[in-house]
Homo-oligomer: A and B are copies of this chain.
Amino acid sequence: LPAPPPARPTFHHGDLRSALIAAVGELIEVHGPDGFSVAEAARRAGVSSAAPYKHFRDRPEILRAVVAEAMDRLHAAMTAAAAGQTPGSPEQIAAVGHAYVDFARAGPGVFRLVFGLTEGHDEDPSLQAKGQACFDVVARAVAASLGQPVEADAVQRSAYVLWTCVHGHAFLTIDRKADVVATGFDDHSYLMAVARAVLERAAAGTVGG
């Protein structure tokens, strides 16, 4: 018979909310975004299957908390990456992209969850704001490069193109679909190539239309 979960030293857990979010994250890495169960997360946290309901209304609310926490981490990583480079340089764009790709690779399951379409997530204003904040990190770098305001069409378009490239690259690698490409295109050369291409074309005014 299976060993009982490691008995907590105290009756109260201490920080069950965080422990559950972490446990769900781990389960999602193993079983995919839909493959986790409240019961198994509770087991991992060493707690009865009813305990989670003291902290979350239901299963979807737990999922939303996992997404929120992950988006905060992504935003922090992108911001830190941008801070370490010259504003507006291709190197800065590449560094932000690298943070994005690293985030995806470090937790592919959670990455898919964050960027997937989950009922109720797109209507949540706090999640929307976190997504916008991530995009703005890229947009600010592009704006600095072009010497135009962040809201300018050229800036928004170029930032979007960069986003699609990096997003696609992140997905294709975590989903192991990038192996078909015969040549060795490592993250750095890919990101620099894309950053230079978009910035130069934007500066020349040839993006969009």
Residues of A within 8 A of B (CB): 32-35, 108, 112, 115-117, 122, 131-132, 135, 151, 153, 156-157, 159-161, 163-169, 171-172, 174-178, 180-183, 185, 189-190, 192-194, 196-198, 201, 206-209
**A193 contacts B207, CB within 8 Å?**
yes
Given contacts A168-B168, A189-B208, A201-B197, contact A156 B183 (CB under 8 A): yes
For residue A164, which residues in chain B have a CB less than 8 angstroms away from its CB?
164-166, 168-169, 172, 190
24 inter-chain pairs at a CB distance below 8 angstroms, sorted by A residue, are: A33-B34, A34-B34, A34-B35, A115-B177, A116-B175, A156-B182, A157-B183, A160-B190, A161-B165, A163-B168, A163-B172, A164-B164, A164-B168, A164-B169, A164-B190, A165-B165, A165-B168, A167-B171, A167-B172, A185-B208, A189-B209, A196-B206, A197-B201, A197-B207
Compute how far the CA of A163 lies from the CA of B180 in the bound complex, rounded to whole angstroms.
Answer: 11
Bound complex: CA of A177 vs CA of B114, how far in Å? 10
